[in-house]
Structure 1
Amino acid sequence: MRKYMLLCMAGTMLSFTGFSQQVSKEGTNEISKKANKGYLYEPTINEAANQMNLTYVTKASGKTAKFETYKFDLDFNFKGMDESEQPLEKLKGYRADKGEEWEMNAVSVEKNLMGTLVLRRKLIKKKWNWFWGGYDIKVENKEKLKPKSEDGNKFFYLSHAEQNESGSVIIVAGEKGDSKDPLRQYKKIHVLRYDADLNQLADKVIEFTYPQMIAAINTDDADEDAEVDEDVAILFAPMGGKGMSKTADPNAGNYTYVRVSPAAEVKQRVAVSSNHGIFDGSFVSMGDAMLIYGPANDNKTDYLNEKQADDQFKAKNFQMVRIENGNVAFVTSTPIAEFEKKAQNPPSQKKSPDYRGRKFRVSQVIQTSNGDMLIAGQNYETGGGIMANRSAGTEYTDIIMLHFDNKGNLKGQYGVRREENDKDAKMAPNMQMLEESKDGKGLYWVIMEMKGLKAEKELGDSKYKFLLYPNVAKVNLGTATIGDFVQLGQGKSDYYVNNKYPLLPIGKGQIVFLGENKSGKTLWFAKMPLD
């Protein structure tokens, strides 16, 4: 998903602190009661033919589905509506080769009370669900397997990555120690790969002189729609502290980056020298490069296993590591006090929420054409603090964005107080989207504000619709300053973006929003040029 929406009269220019935003074109159109009670199945764009189709599922029964397709040109002029009926195998996401219900084998990864690696074959059952247009999944666990090394040693589970496309799994595990070498499970690390029938496909060994733990691992587990299995990135940190003075790496900041292919081949192993023993790193891929970023402590004598970073960890620094072409391109460390000095907020906002060293939920990380790197995210509270007297688990609060140059040096930070801040808005993180301006000098920052929830039915099934509207600001990349936010969709009819398709991929150098009024009867379109 990409970005925002502005609602103002077409052609009206809004100017703030030297920046400008405008909606160059907008349009509305009514849909039928049947389409409103169904759901938007798929928007399709044909720029060469100047055509846009919005197809709604209006009824589903047996082996067919009924559709209404609304046709527009790319200036949102209505060109007609067609009704049709199609077999299930024509539907996006529907596996014609499998049918409405089908099964597949896969492998799950577990550990017992002693930390021993246990594999289990599982049967995944899938059944098509018209409510959301995809397959519901049920899992049945089958027989177990406890893998062993060539020397007959069991494995100590560390982490794993499921490969959704192939049904295989990559496992990171230590070879269990014994009386001769009790720390072997932290020094002799295996990268294993098993298929869905529990056949071993690979076993690659990564050996360390000193005991290690996994500080961070990046997998594509969350992307169930991934068309290919992706590389796995791992950051190892030395273990040390009480009882390990003779066996630990004397420098807690001697990290190791490892990149593993989908076939479990070790593609890269890179030593990373950090001034921080505790580094709560996260990965983001930037083309062939990998960026590791996150809060860090103030020394390289404390070991990560002694003071494990968690949601309550309050750092003294923020570290950036870039791995490129198999080497460390840079390692930078910014004291938290520096963020306050370089804090910027929208001109009409009196005070800026600062980044104070806590872990925050990251929404998007991008690198712009001038090499700047920006991390947009949101603070949250769990358990204590503002959550002490609440029953909810997590509460999302202020929104922040960190701005670094191409060498990882801090240029600025931006803090935003949300427009909507009631209990509904706090229960879920705000969707955020970043898009560079056409001249490369600015960045549009879109924050989707939630004005509430609306219960509705799609094909007879009840669901909730989030009433989301965009707040849009522009950041000057050169001066590291930000303009005021402009609320969009808050006109007379209160338009909100479509939850599944908030924007449409029409052309470059602009954002095209797809919305609807609260009842869902009136469609709303708007183009915002990225000037």
Structure 2
Amino acid sequence: MKPMNFLLLLLMGSSLATQAQKLSKEGTHEISKKANKGYLYEPTVDEAKNEVTMTYVTKASGRKAKFEIYKFDLEFNFKGMEESEQPLEKLKGYRADKGDEWEMPAVSVEKNFMGTLMLRRKIIKKKWNWFWGGYDIKIEQKEKLKPKSEDGNKFFYLSHAEQNESGSVIIIAGEKGDRSDPMRQYKRIHILRYDAELNQLADKVLEFQYPQLIAAVNTDDADEDAELDEDITILFAPMGGKGMNKVADPNGGNYSYVRIASSAEIKERVSISSNHGIFDGSFVKVGNAMMIYGPANDNKTDYLNEKPADDQFKAKNFQIVKIENGQVAYVTSTPISEFEKKAQNPPSQKKSPDYKGRKFRVADIRQTMNGDLLITGQNYSTPSGLRRSSGTTDYTDIIMIHFDSKGNLKAQYGVRREENDKEAKMAPNSQILVESTDGSSLYWVILEMEGVKTEKELGDSKYKFLVYPNVTKINLATANIGEFTQFGQGKTDYYVNNKYPFLPIGKGQVVFLGETKSGKTLWFAKMPLE
């Protein structure tokens, strides 16, 4: 090696070392044999009291539970342990107004082999389970109903969303056609709402000139905003292709975005003009905007109903649509060839696994202070042939796509996982994206699975995944990725808690919560977001 090149490598290594993410504080503490044989009920943080509380359930019987409560300050110094016994009614998730066992009426949504919508009244029976701290659910099916339109036409099922608190349901269904209009079920779409006793509460109609199908639908109500939780978003796409030339929209890229309230009222209906007839889109809410993103084909003369199966569809583009304030903010399309040109990988990694245009499992999406959009996920392969019946899916390389505030590609980051054995491939890696305090960088945390351990909690066997954090830092302005650093791995290996891998302690840092393989020793670790 030439002296100049050797010196350059030393300087590069020194530069990388100074930029590497690091832990500012670690702490450990042994718990009792009783706590280890029980389970961590809930960690809590009280910054005003400078206190972290770790509560373990050590015994559960009858209507009471015994606890061991470990207390630490925010620097992980041990403050003491106390034991307590509490009645069931005071536990998180327990409905004191309902008791150990209770039931509620609701609606099941079904379809027959012809796709005809059918509703069935059901009773949801709930019984408290001590082992996992929640209610076990059993469903008892009751009588059926086949809804009809005002004109006496049956409905063709498309999608639905259950409203768990009220037991009501919202259904998206097409009004079935006849000889005079055989495509009616794809043009006259009803937004129906029924209560738990099968009484119709609403029937709103979406009329389309050309036949449509649902390209994407989001019925998830897991957001923090209660009003938006219950909204349903739908992306409609034109149907076309062989045998439909006379009735199809001549432009396969004429999409429609619809947002529906929990009352079944239509809040928004927005037309989207795309250059891609095949767009395998997914929804994500970012701030006050709705983003629709995913792989797309190379023209608007093809139609979504002509799309091959996911394991055969290889897109030529990646499209992003931003809907904000009831209108299209932008539509961008990036050729897949651009991803390879802007591909990056950690400096010590020889080759980057590129995004090839197939759908991937999304793990996290983040919009940064400067408006950049980052989508991180994981490639996977689905079973084929005889393996398909086994349901086995292999999760492989991890990728992240980095767009600017206008939806233009800045970089693609590809990562070869540290753990790639059979056990690691059977489940997707959990990932989180956390921005630095000044907004200049993004920390990318990948939880690597080293193995699986069987253990007992309150006498019941369960799997414990041996997972440790692997972290890198990305410069958002230059779109450069640094080296990964593993935390918890060393002379004594620590693995993050499967249920509570992080503690919410203050801003400007990530706090990992872990334990040894045996579970006897707790591990706390602060990583500053510099």
| TM-score where L is the length of structure 2 | 0.95
Describe the shift of the 1:227–1:126 C-alpha distance in structure 2 as closer, same or farther (beyond 3 A).
farther
Give distance in 2, aligned partners of 1:295 and 1:39.
42
Once the two structures are superposed, the pairs formed by residues 109-508 of structure 1 within 5 Å of their partners are 109-220=109-220, 223=222, 229-308=229-308, 310-384=310-384, 393-508=392-507
* 2:94 is the alignment partner of 1:94: yes
Give distance in 2, aligned partners of 1:452 and 1:138.
33
Give distance in 1, aligned partners of 2:190 and 2:76.
56
2:504 maps to amino acid: P
Give distance in 1, aligned partners of 2:326 and 2:339.
30
Give distance in 2, aligned partners of 1:333 and 1:472.
30
Query: More displaced, 342-351 or 93-102?
Result: 93-102
Give distance in 2, aligned partners of 1:180 and 1:367.
49
Would you tell me which structure has more helix in proportion to its own residues?
2
Contact persistence 1:234–1:259 (CA under 8 A): yes
After TM superposition, give the deviation of residue 227 of structure 1 in Å: 6.4
2:83 maps to amino acid: E
- Residues 305-352 of structure 1: CA deviation (Å, up to 9, x unaligned): 122552431100000000000010000000000000000000000000
Give distance in 1, aligned partners of 2:224 and 2:198.
23
- Residues 388-431 of structure 1: CA deviation (Å, up to 9, x unaligned): 69955211000000000011100000000010011100000000
1:366 aligns to what SS in structure 2?
strand
- Residues 215-261 of structure 1: CA deviation (Å, up to 9, x unaligned): 0001116x499967521000000011112111110000000000001
Counterpart in the other structure of 1:104: 104
Give distance in 2, aligned partners of 1:181 and 1:351.
56
2:306 aligns to what SS in structure 1?
coil
1:396 maps to amino acid: Y
Give distance in 2, aligned partners of 1:134 and 1:227.
22
- Residues 351-400 of structure 1: CA deviation (Å, up to 9, x unaligned): 00000000000001110000000000000001249x96995521100000
After TM superposition, give the deviation of residue 119 of structure 1 in Å: 0.7
After TM superposition, give the deviation of residue 20 of structure 1 in Å: 2.9
After TM superposition, give the deviation of residue 44 of structure 1 in Å: 1.2
Contact persistence 2:22–2:527 (CA under 8 A): yes
| TM-score where L is the length of structure 1 | 0.95
1:22 aligns to what SS in structure 2?
coil
Give distance in 2, aligned partners of 1:461 and 1:367.
41
2:43 aligns to what SS in structure 1?
strand
- Residues 475-494 of structure 1: CA deviation (Å, up to 9, x unaligned): 11111110010011102111
Contact persistence 1:279–1:309 (CA under 8 A): no
Where does structure 1 differ by over 3 angstroms across 4 or more consecutive aligned residues?
223-229, 387-392
After TM superposition, give the deviation of residue 141 of structure 1 in Å: 1.4
Once the two structures are superposed, the pairs formed by residues 53-72 of structure 1 within 5 Å of their partners are 53-72=53-72
Contact persistence 2:20–2:485 (CA under 8 A): no
Describe the shift of the 1:419–1:130 C-alpha distance in structure 2 as closer, same or farther (beyond 3 A).
same
Describe the shift of the 1:224–1:287 C-alpha distance in structure 2 as closer, same or farther (beyond 3 A).
closer
- Residues 127-175 of structure 1: CA deviation (Å, up to 9, x unaligned): 1112211111111211111111111111010111112232211110001
Contact persistence 2:468–2:489 (CA under 8 A): yes
Contact persistence 2:20–2:472 (CA under 8 A): no
Structure 1: runs of 5 or more not aligned: 1-13
1:41 maps to amino acid: Y
2:470 maps to amino acid: N
- Residues 251-309 of structure 1: CA deviation (Å, up to 9, x unaligned): 00000000001111100000000000000000000122100000000010011112255
After TM superposition, give the deviation of residue 16 of structure 1 in Å: 2.3
1:450 aligns to what SS in structure 2?
strand
Contact persistence 2:258–2:269 (CA under 8 A): yes
Structure 2: runs of 5 or more not aligned: 1-13
Provide the aligned C-alpha RMSD in A. 1.7
Describe the shift of the 1:74–1:18 C-alpha distance in structure 2 as closer, same or farther (beyond 3 A).
closer
Give distance in 2, aligned partners of 1:48 and 1:104.
40
2:304 aligns to what SS in structure 1?
coil
Give distance in 1, aligned partners of 2:336 and 2:223.
36
- Residues 158-210 of structure 1: CA deviation (Å, up to 9, x unaligned): 11111223221111000110111111110000011111221111111000001
Contact persistence 2:102–2:127 (CA under 8 A): yes
Give distance in 1, aligned partners of 2:17 and 2:87.
55
1:313 maps to amino acid: F
Contact persistence 2:430–2:446 (CA under 8 A): yes
Contact persistence 1:164–1:226 (CA under 8 A): no
Query: More displaced, 101-110 or 345-354?
Result: 101-110
Contact persistence 2:172–2:191 (CA under 8 A): yes
